[in-house]
Amino acid sequence: MLRTHGILTMTSRVRGSRAGAAHRLLTAALLAWIVAPPAPVAAQASRGWTFEGDAFADLWFHGLAVTGFYGFGPFPLYDPAYAAAVRRQDREAGSPPTALEKDRRDLLTSFQSSDLFEVLHFVPLYFHGASRRETLGALRAIAATSRGSPEASSTTRFGVSVVAQLIPEERDRRTLGRFVDDLGEEWDSVVGPRRADDGDVRARRLQEVQSVWDTLWAPALAGFLE
């Protein structure tokens, strides 16, 4: 993720033939841009762009990668080898399969049954500013509401509105709720502990990415960022 002065920005290339779903997702992304407009680009360029980690995004994209829901188009949004590596680590550690691992095939089938589930790849964008607990709670509230949008806090209101609009059917919301519940357990047993253990590694990688951006990409794109 790329965070610049409190505004979370995510980029994606539209690929494949799912034009209808892509159009809806891009419309929602533009709404996010309008509701929470970033600082002028020239100001961003002069003050610099910074890369940071995010606990909810780490958990969310881990979950999508483990299910094998790689996104639209011919190129996967997540490393196809990631899920196998996670399962191998769990076996080596003697850990039993998690709920997400047990449910991953059913979840993938459900996700692939409707183009509307492509919105899942953008969920961290819509809940910028909310904590991991707040976001999971808000998504559970959507899953428990058969129609429309449930009440939400100021930090989750926009995300709840977007996700509830794009996943309106009760059946699909039950699938969302199952995935979110599995992620709650996944945080406690897998992602949370590993994230705590590899904090130094993640910090070093973020520094490396920041260095590459500052020394290579930022100068090369300076003319486009002014």
pLDDT, residue 125, reads: 94
> Nearest to residue 146, comparing CAs of 164, 162, 159, 158?
164
Paired tokens of 117? 């589930």
Q: Nearest 5°: phi and psi at 4?
A: -130, 105
Beta carbons within 8 Å of 180's beta carbon, 6+ residues apart: 136, 139, 140, 143
Evaluated on CA atoms 116, 117, 121, 126, the torsion sign reads positive
CB 54 within 8 A of CB 94: no
Per-residue pLDDT of the chain (226 residues; tens, 9 = 90+): 443 333 233 333 333 333 344 444 443 443 343 344 444 444 444 457 888 889 999 999 999 999 999 988 888 999 999 999 999 998 998 999 999 999 999 999 999 999 999 999 999 999 999 999 999 999 999 999 988 889 999 999 999 999 999 999 999 999 999 999 999 999 999 999 999 999 899 999 999 999 999 999 999 988 887 6
What is d(CA 128, CA 10) in angstroms, rounded to the nearest whole number? 11
pLDDT, residue 47, reads: 52
> Nearest to residue 159, comparing CAs of 50, 56, 52, 68?
56
Q: Give the single-character DSSP code of 96.
A: P
pLDDT, residue 56, reads: 97
What is d(CA 165, CA 159) in angstroms, rounded to the nearest whole number? 10
DSSP string, 30-71: HHHHHHSPPPPHHHHHHH--EE---HHHHHHHHHHHHHT---
Please state the separation of Cα 61 from the chain's center in Å: 5
Answer whether 0.75 is exceeded by the pTM. yes
Evaluated on CA atoms 22, 24, 120, 212, the torsion sign reads positive
Name the residue type at position 13: R
